[in-house]
C-alpha cells in the first residue's frame, strides 16, 4: 500500500513538474515573441523616418536648384527638367510621410513629420518675385523643422 501511495505521489509530482515547465516555457516564448515584434516595429519606424529625412533633403536641394535656375534665367529645358525632378522629389516626400503615418501613431513624431514636410514643400512655392531672402527664410524654417523631426524621431523610436 505504501509503495502505491509513493508511486502515485511520484507520478503526480512528475505531471506537476511537466505542467509547470510547460507553462513557464510558453510564457518565455510569448515574451520573446513580443520583444521581437517590438524590435521589428522599431526598425520599421526607424526606416520610415530615415526615408522621410532623405526625401525632404533631396526635395530641399532640388527646390533651391530650381529657384536658382529660374533666377539665373537658365534655358527652358534646364528649368523644365528641374521642375519635373521637383515633382518626383515632392512625391517621394509625401510617400515617405504616408509610410510614417501608417507605421506609427505617435502624435509628437507625426506632428514633427508634418511640420518638416510642410516647411520643405513651401520651398517649391516660388515665382518671379521670390527673393534670396525669401528662400533663405524658408530654408532656415525647413532646416529647423528637419532638426526638430530628427530629435523627435530619436526620442520616440530609439528612446534617446
HEC readout, 96-157: HHHHHHHHCCCHHHHHHHHHHHHHHHHCCCCCCCCCHHHHHHHHHHHHHHHHHHHHHHHHHH
Average of per-residue pLDDT across 66-85? 89
On whether residue 26 sits in a domain, the answer given is: no
Q: Would you say residue 70 lies in a domain?
A: yes
Task: Find the range with the poorest average confidence among 11-15, 70-74, 106-110.
Answer: 11-15
Per-residue pLDDT for 37 more than 90? no
Q: What are the φ and ψ backbone dihedral angles of 111, each rounded to 5 degrees?
A: -65, -45
Domain annotation covers residue 58: yes
Task: Check residue 154 and give its pLDDT.
Answer: 92
Q: Which residue range forms the structural domain that includes residue 82?
A: 41-158
**25 found inside a domain:** no
What is the pLDDT of the chain when averaged over all its residues? 88
Res. 12: pLDDT tops 70: no
CA torsion, points 65, 66, 70, 72, in degrees to nearest 10?
10
Distance CA 118, CA 11 (A): 70
* Cα distance from N-terminal residue to C-terminal residue, the chain: 67
64 in a domain, yes or no?
yes
Residue 56 lies inside a defined structural domain of this protein: yes
Whether 118 shows a pLDDT value over 80: the answer reads yes
Answer whether residue 7 is part of any domain. Answer: no
- How high is the pLDDT of residue 137? 94
Number of domains in the chain: 1
Decide if 101 is inside a domain.
yes
| pLDDT given at position 29 | 65
pTM, to two decimals: 0.78
**Grid cell listed for 113:** 513629420
Amino acid at each position: 500500500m505504501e509503495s502505491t501511495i509513493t508511486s502515485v505521489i511520484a507520478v503526480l509530482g512528475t505531471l506537476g513538474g511537466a505542467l509547470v515547465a510547460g507553462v513557464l516555457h510558453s510564457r518565455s516564448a510569448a515574451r520573446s515573441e513580443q520583444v521581437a515584434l517590438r524590435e521589428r516595429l522599431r526598425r520599421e519606424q526607424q526606416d520610415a523616418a530615415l526615408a522621410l529625412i532623405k526625401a525632404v533633403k533631396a526635395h530641399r536641394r532640388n527646390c533651391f536648384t530650381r529657384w536658382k535656375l529660374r533666377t539665373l534665367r537658365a534655358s527652358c529645358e534646364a528649368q523644365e527638367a528641374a521642375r519635373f525632378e521637383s515633382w518626383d522629389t515632392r512625391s517621394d516626400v509625401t510617400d515617405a510621410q504616408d509610410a510614417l503615418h501608417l507605421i506609427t501613431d505617435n502624435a509628437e513624431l507625426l506632428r514633427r513629420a508634418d511640420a518638416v514636410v510642410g516647411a520643405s514643400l513651401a520651398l517649391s512655392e516660388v515665382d518671379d518675385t521670390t527673393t534670396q531672402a525669401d528662400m533663405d527664410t524658408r530654408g532656415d524654417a525647413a532646416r529647423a523643422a528637419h532638426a526638430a523631426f530628427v530629435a523627435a524621431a530619436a526620442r520616440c523610436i530609439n528612446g534617446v
